[in-house]
Amino acid sequence: MFSNIMTRARMSVVFPSSMTSLLLVVVALTFGPSTAAFGPPTSPTTSRPAPVHHPGALIRKRARCVALMVPRYDESTQRWSPSSSEEEASEGYSPLGSLIRQGPVPFVRRLVDPDSYDQGVLKMMATENGGTGMSRDEAQGNMDAYLQNPNDWALQKLEEERTGVKYDYANANMDVFSLVLTAAWTGVLLSVLSRVLYVYQNGCDEFCQTYHW
């Protein structure tokens, strides 16, 4: 009888202590530090969200970078000047290139007033395409087309804005067929011009009297 009482007393002591230990384990698992704290250190670059670049910001950034490379305008001299060697006149095509692309008008203009032509090209390089500029050849092609026919050039620009398709003035009339046609017309014009000069200097010869030419 006494032994039964002692056994029950020991069980009553052990049971509460076991329950207490179990509760302590549960509390430690629930409110204790996370196991991640004992893992490898996390790099700040991986825990930080990746930056999001807005397309508009990238476009504006590129535009600013390009704007730094276009010709500059000097208020004191009121003249445009190239900002790099790639924008100088020597990097563009020759007056013969203007003749082939757009005919005699820009060709003669370049020979008669090359400084004014170059200033117009530099201004176009800096201000066209929404202020982002254009290459030397592209600017010369546009200037030649403008000098040849300003109205057609302006209408073409309006069409480009409407459709979003740009006309390649830098390579206008530079395909094989156009070059052959230009050469043929040039040969005819040179022949006529040489005949006129001959008659002017030597008078009307037999051919001139017969055919009135």
Chain center to CA of 164: 14
Chain center to CA of 211: 58
Cα–Cα dist 22/28, whole Å = 10
Q: What's the one-letter identity of residue 184? A: A
User: pTM for the full model?
Assistant: 0.60
- Residues 6 or more apart whose CB falls under 8 angstroms from that of 12 comprise none
Average pLDDT, the chain: 76
Nearest to 122 by CA among 152, 158, 83, 93: 83
The answer to whether 39 and 105 have CB atoms below 8 angstroms apart is no
Highest mean pLDDT among 20-34, 86-100, 189-203: 86-100
Q: If you average pLDDT over residues 201-212, what whole number do you get?
A: 82
